[in-house]
């Protein structure tokens, strides 16, 4: 009796162990490919699943995350017969776990070989300079070809990058010399443009300075002429006012004669060599001389 109970208890424990071992939890971004009796049965997605003991088998556990594969450098030959080493980086993700499991043997190895042959075909149609300057074009071409070829394997190629392009050492030396010469040429051009710009600025400065000086001289002459014109106008206005006041005063002939004598005195101040006396003033001058003689005779002799 005790032996029978022990056997039943052992069977229950064994059954629990089998059940527990066949409970599978698929984590996020993963998928399990399940075979039943050696044939594909189903694909488990994220969650809890129970496997039938001794009948079902997990054939492969697939990661659905984006994966990155860095392939070693591959020797390629350009159209102008230059051999270089190029290594590529492929970014891909698995879209169909079933095709990835049964579509091709060793998928990563297949992608590497396909990438190498595609790269050789594309680079073989390009020259060295085009290869060095057309990375984006080469990347797109390789990605399109790989994506079409790997679609049957349940793989989607997202992008392809040429990591390094290494031409032969002598080619690198020649390229470095060429780049050095190009940099020196650009430096000389920049120096010449700077010198030209400097001379232009100096010339423009001299031009503006000359214009400013001419404007200053012009302004000074204009102000000087305006001052002289104002002075002349002031003198003429004063003379006109004097004549107007003289006319308004209604001077007598004697006053006019006296003013004429004063003018005559100013004329004969010794600075002029010739004096022209109007005829109407000659009589007045004679009269003045006569008065002077009479006054001189009246003085007592010393």
Residue 139 falls within a domain, yes or no?
yes
- Is 70 exceeded by the pLDDT of residue 288? no
Q: What is the pLDDT of residues 136-145, one digit of tens each?
A: 999 999 999 9
Q: What is the pLDDT of residues 28-41, one digit of tens each?
A: 999 999 999 989 99
Judge whether 185 and 125 are in contact, CB under 8 Å.
no
The CATH number of whichever domain residue 147 belongs to comes to: 3.30.479.30
Residue 172 falls within a domain, yes or no?
no
Asked whether residue 96 falls in the same domain as residue 44, the answer is no
Long-range CB contacts (within 8 A, 24+) of 250-259: 257/281, 257/284
Residue 177 falls within a domain, yes or no?
no
Asked whether residue 74 falls in the same domain as residue 11, the answer is no
Domain count, the chain: 4
- Give the pLDDT of residue 7: 82
Asked whether residue 140 falls in the same domain as residue 84, the answer is yes
Asked whether residue 160 falls in the same domain as residue 111, the answer is yes
- Give the pLDDT of residue 66: 93
Asked whether residue 286 falls in the same domain as residue 236, the answer is no
- Give the pLDDT of residue 100: 93
Q: Tell me which residue range forms the domain holding 235.
A: 187-250
DSSP state of 125: T
Residue 175 falls within a domain, yes or no?
no
Asked whether residue 92 falls in the same domain as residue 157, the answer is yes
What's this model's pTM, rounded to 2 decimal places? 0.56
Q: What is the pLDDT of residues 239-273, one digit of tens each?
A: 777 667 766 766 666 556 656 655 555 555 555 45
Tokens of 37: 């009796």
277: Cβ contacts below 8 Å, ≥ 6 apart: 264, 285
């Amino acid at each position: 009796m005790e032996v029978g109970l022990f056997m039943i208890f052992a069977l229950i424990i064994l059954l629990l162990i089998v059940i527990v071992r066949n409970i599978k939890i698929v984590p996020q971004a993963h998928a399990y490919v399940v075979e039943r009796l050696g044939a594909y049965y189903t694909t488990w997605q994220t969650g809890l699943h129970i496997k039938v003991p001794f009948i079902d088998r997990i054939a492969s556990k697939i990661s659905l995350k984006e994966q990155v594969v860095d392939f070693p450098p591959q020797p390629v030959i350009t159209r102008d017969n230059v051999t270089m080493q190029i290594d590529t980086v492929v970014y891909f993700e698995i879209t169909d776990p079933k095709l990835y499991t049964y579509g091709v043997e060793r998928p990563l190895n297949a992608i590497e070989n396909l990438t190498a042959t595609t790269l050789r075909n594309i680079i073989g149609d390009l020259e060295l300079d085009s290869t060095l300057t057309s990375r984006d074009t080469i990347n797109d071409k390789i990605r399109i070809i790989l994506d079409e070829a790997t679609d049957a394997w349940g793989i989607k190629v997202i992008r392809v990058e040429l990591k390094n392009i290494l031409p032969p050492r002598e080619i690198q030396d020649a390229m470095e010399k060429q780049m050095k010469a190009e940099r020196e040429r650009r430096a000389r051009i920049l120096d010449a443009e700077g010198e030209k710009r400097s001379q232009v600025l100096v010339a423009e400065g001299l031009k503006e300075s000359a214009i400013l000086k001419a404007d200053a001289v012009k302004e000074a002459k204009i102000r000087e002429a305006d001052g002289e014109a104002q002075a002349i106008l002031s003198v003429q206005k004063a003379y006109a006012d004097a004549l107007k006041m003289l006319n308004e005063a209604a001077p007598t002939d004697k006053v006019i004669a006296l003013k004429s004598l004063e003018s005559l005195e100013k004329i004969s101040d010794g600075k002029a060599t010739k004096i022209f006396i109007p005829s109407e003033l000659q009589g007045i001058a004679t009269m003045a001389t006569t008065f002077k003689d009479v006054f001189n005779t009246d003085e007592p002799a010393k």
